[in-house]
Amino acid sequence: MEYLYERISYLRGLVDGLEIDEKTKEGRVLIAIIDALEDFADAINDLEASQSELDDYVGAIDEDLSEVEDEIYDDESDDEYDYVEVECPRCHMLMSVEDELLDDEDAEIVCPHCNETINVKDVVIYEDDDKE
């Protein structure tokens, strides 16, 4: 951003070197334009500093989020379950059930379609060749 300040200083030097009178209409306009340019340069400088700070902050958030994702998804990969499609004996709709749950004959599940509580020993395991 230093180059903007250098260019504005150059313009100020030109106005001073040309001995433009600040009391004339043209002189007031030129001085006002140079002052406005300086204000723009200040605003751009502030925006650049804010943008740099935001970039650093977003980078830190991204790193933190990556660590959280690693924690969450690494844990989930260790706890993966195998699912089996079963048919509800009441509404005959298919649902997914954890494979290990079918080993417990006393376990009960709720059908997501008919909302009935069903004992796992009553469900029928769905296989592709059952469908015709």
**pLDDT single digits (tens) 33-69:** 999 999 999 999 999 999 999 999 999 999 999 999 8
**pLDDT single digits (tens) 96-106:** 888 888 888 88
Instruction: Break the chain into its structural domains and give their ranges.
Output: 2-78, 83-130
Average pLDDT over residues 84-99: 89
- Give the span between the Cα atoms of 96 and 20, in whole angstroms: 85
Amino acid letter, residue 67: E
The closest alpha carbon to 98, from 123, 74, 117, belongs to 123
The closest alpha carbon to 96, from 74, 120, 65, 61, belongs to 120
